[in-house]
Amino acid sequence: MKNYRANMLDLLILVATLFMASCNAEDVIDEVTKIEEPPKEEDPDEESDEVTQPVFLADQDPKPSNTKWVLVEALSDEFDEGNIDLEKWNESPEFLWENANGSFSDRGWYGSTRCLFSAENVSIEEGELRIEAKLYDEPQYSPKDDTSQPAKRWYGGAYVSSKTMGKPGYYFEAEMQSSSTVMSSAFWLKTPPVPCTTTSDGENLELDIQECVGRFLGSKTDDWTKDDWAVNSKWDQIFHFNTHRHSTNCAYNGSRQSKGGHINFDKFNREEYHIYAAWWHEGGNQVDFFIDGRLVKSVTPPVPFTSDQRLIMSSNFYDWVREDARDDMGFNDSKLDRSTKFKWVRTWKLEAED
């Protein structure tokens, strides 16, 4: 019996030795290393949220050599503070102007005929600036309307403008999604509504970076003809950009002059965010329009755009849009869906590299 046990013990030792010899030493080391290895520290640079230049696809950055993009803080906002920054933005369209006699007049624009721009429709929610599109229970008056006449403003929107002026040479961009309604969603610039006699060139200029509607109900077969010009353009699936020269009593008093263009998306504007951008060249003779970091078109404005302009985010009920049932126009949708949404707005200028 003792010999049997001894033989069995020798056999077990031999088997264990052979097993250990067949193991890969690297496998054993790796296994131990994985257990004992301390957690990897995160590289702070990898998680940095700092934005150092505009959004461009490969080979689309137009900056000249030996220059760099620098953020213009006063015309940029990530909308992450919970409230609108009133040091940067006007949430009301009111624009008070002091007349020669010392009195003040409001030269602000409160929306098209059926729309009322109001600060109550502007909010900062979930890191976005939102402009709610609203159908009122009864028509409203603007502060400038003649209240002896019937009110006509059934639709609520807003007009948020910058307190700092945009200038030639600046690059403007915003990540935006339209509302789900027939109202507009727009990102644009405009010369201030001051008397043309007080300006250096007497011009009334407008630079539209993006202008669309959330849904389009018109057709060429209906009895509403004001929107026939827009039917083929698919205004609810569009990147629409423009430069306008408006009539004034100073430099120009003819019909509006425009130069621009558009492309269409596969999806509706209300279904996805896009980054809309424009580079307003020094000298004002060219504006380059970009979508999601890609150049779409370079436009020569009707006249050189040399006047400073305010940056604007707005939602309006255009006079050419057809009214229909509340649900068809999108006004039974949720407040979130009825809102034009801006994730951020950024403005850049070029400076020489250090």
Q: Which residues are catalytic?
A: 206, 211
Distances in Å between the Cα of 271 and the Cα atoms of 122, 185, 224, 232, 267 are: 21, 13, 26, 20, 7
Count of alpha carbons within 13 angstroms of residue 124, beta-carbon side: 15
For residues 237 and 230, give the distance between their C-alpha atoms in angstroms, rounded to a whole number. 11
Of the candidates 115, 113, 112, 322, the one whose C-alpha atom is nearest the C-alpha of residue 217 is: 322
For residues 184 and 291, give the distance between their C-alpha atoms in angstroms, rounded to a whole number. 18
Cα angle 243, 159, 89 (rounded to 5 degrees) comes to 100
Element (H, E) at 21: helix 2-22
- What string of DSSP letters covers 53-78? S----TT---PPTTEEEEE-GGG-B-
Count of alpha carbons within 13 angstroms of residue 29, beta-carbon side: 3
For residues 157 and 290, give the distance between their C-alpha atoms in angstroms, rounded to a whole number. 26
Can you point out the beta strands (E) in 65-198? 67-71, 89-90, 96-98, 104-106, 115-117, 122-125, 128-132, 134-140, 153-166, 171-177, 184-190
